[in-house]
């Protein structure tokens, strides 16, 4: 009886998720829309969502319900998270606009490569690169899909084997980073667990990983909910709403705003601000 109520609780939480905003909003890049649902990966397993008109009868296949909850941080109480971050009026508006947006928890290696692909690329392009890496170099599953290629596999390739996937200058960084990991020079396990800035420093030892990509990986692997990546969009949000002076703020000044305005859930606030500002202002000419 207790099992049944937790099961219904899990389904209720999943029913609130805004799938487009969460799965295609620039956190994760492995999800593809299928007929009335989604096809993607959780913890290296191929999974799928089959939605129906009736939200209660949605099916979640490929891993158990706790796995789904864990992927979307649904074991946390999002009502109280919203209450907490809504103290900021701009975050409040973003949460009102996209109440079903959730944070994902992707595998660290896949997440790292996704963001090594990301510089100067729009989200749909990153998704294409992600799936090219899978189909070119990932082990096939029985169902005909492809795993994300491991560090060892990518390290064993030539840089040109990555170039042919149209990764451009990103190919070198991905190849060099894969080699650092495959030969044990760099270990995810050495990541400091309770010190965000030290964790950023550790990730930045990898070629091609700067401050922005480091914080993306820390946030979208679920490792540090306080990580707030500053990219062109969050730079615009912060400058637009929190910077009162005329001149353009320096990066350090934007970081100070983040420290001052957002607390330990800064990363959660960031996903709402980012998604809301980007969907509102993308392709509209700044006045």
Partner DNA sequence: ATTCAGGAAGTAG
Partner DNA sequence: CTACTTCCTGAA
Gap between the Cα atoms of 92 and 159, Å rounded? 45
Contact residues for DNA (CB under 7 A)? 25-27, 115, 118-123, 125-126, 163, 166-170, 172-173, 204, 207-214, 216, 229, 231-234, 274, 278, 282-283
Residue 154 vs 216, nearer CB to DNA: 216
Closest to 126 measured CA to CA, from 109, 141, 110: 110
For every residue of 201-233, DSSP letters joined together read: HHHTTSTT--HHHHHHHHHHTTS-TT-----HH
40-44: long-range contacts, CB 8 A cutoff, minimum separation 24 = 41/110, 41/148, 42/67, 42/68, 42/71, 43/67, 43/71, 43/107, 44/107, 44/147, 44/148
The span from the CA of 113 to the CA of 83, in Å, is 33
Closer to DNA at the Cβ: 13 or 215?
215
Q: What's the closest the beta carbon of residue 114 comes to DNA, in angstroms?
A: 8
Encoding tokens for residue 247?
């001149």
Nearer to DNA, 10 or 148 (CB): 148
DSSP-assigned states of every residue in 46-88: EEEEE--SSGGG-EEESS-HHHHHHHTTTTS-HHHHHHHHTTS
Instruction: Give the nearest distance from C-beta 75 to DNA in angstroms.
Output: 22
Q: For residues 161 and 211, which CB has a smaller minimum distance to DNA in the complex?
A: 211
Which C-beta is closer to DNA: that of 42 or that of 129?
129
For the CB of residue 8, give the shortest distance to DNA in the complex, in Å. 31
Minimum distance from CB of 118 to DNA (Å)? 4
Q: Measured from the CB atom, is 18 or 58 closer to DNA?
A: 18
Q: Quote the least distance from Cβ 2 to DNA, whole Å.
A: 37
What is the rounded CA–CA span in Å between residue 22 and residue 100? 8
Residue 68 Cβ, how far from DNA at the closest point, in Å? 20
Rounded to a whole number of angstroms, the minimum distance from the CB of residue 41 to DNA is: 17
Our CB check for DNA shows the closer of 169 and 280 to be 169
Least distance to DNA from the beta carbon of 276, Å? 11
For the beta sheet containing 32-34, the strands, ordered from the edge strand earlier in sequence to the opposite edge, are 32-34, 37-42, 45-50, 59-61
Place of tokens 């990986």: 217
Tokens, residue 72: 């979307």
Q: Exposed, middle or buried: residue 220 (CB in 10 Å: 0-12, 13-18, 19+)? A: buried
Q: Say how far apart CA 114 and CA 126 lie, in whole Å.
A: 7
* Of 150 and 234, CB closest to DNA: 234
With beta carbons less than 8 A apart as the criterion, state whether 274 and 26 touch. Answer: yes
């Amino acid at each position: 009886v207790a099992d049944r109520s937790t099961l219904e609780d899990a389904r209720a939480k999943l029913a609130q998720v805004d799938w487009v905003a969460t799965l295609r909003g620039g956190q994760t890049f492995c999800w593809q829309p299928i007929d009335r649902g989604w096809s993607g990966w959780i913890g290296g397993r191929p999974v799928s969502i089959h939605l129906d008109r009736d939200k209660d009868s949605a099916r979640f296949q490929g891993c158990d319900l706790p796995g789904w909850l864990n992927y979307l941080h649904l074991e946390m109480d999002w009502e109280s998270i919203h209450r907490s971050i809504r103290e900021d009026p701009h975050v409040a508006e973003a949460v009102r606009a996209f109440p079903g947006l959730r944070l994902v928890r992707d595998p660290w290696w896949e997440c790292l490569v996704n963001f090594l692909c990301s510089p100067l690329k729009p989200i749909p392009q990153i998704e294409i690169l992600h799936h090219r890496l899978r189909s070119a170099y990932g082990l096939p599953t029985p169902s005909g899909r492809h795993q994300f290629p491991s560090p060892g596999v990518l390290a064993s390739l030539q840089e040109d084997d990555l170039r042919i996937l149209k990764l451009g200058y990103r190919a070198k960084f991905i190849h060099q980073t894969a080699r650092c990991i495959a030969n044990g020079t760099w270990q995810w396990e050495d990541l400091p667990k309770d010190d965000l800035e030290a964790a950023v420093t550790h990730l930045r030892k990898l070629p091609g990983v700067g401050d922005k990509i480091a914080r993306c990986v820390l946030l979208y692997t679920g490792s540090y909910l306080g990580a707030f990546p500053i990219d062109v969009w969050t730079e615009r949000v912060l400058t637009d709403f929190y910077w009162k002076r005329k001149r353009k703020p320096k990066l350090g000044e934007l970081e100070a705003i983040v420290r001052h305005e957002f607390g330990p859930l800064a990363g959660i606030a960031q996903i709402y601000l980012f998604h809301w500002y980007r969907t509102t202002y993308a392709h509209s000419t700044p006045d």
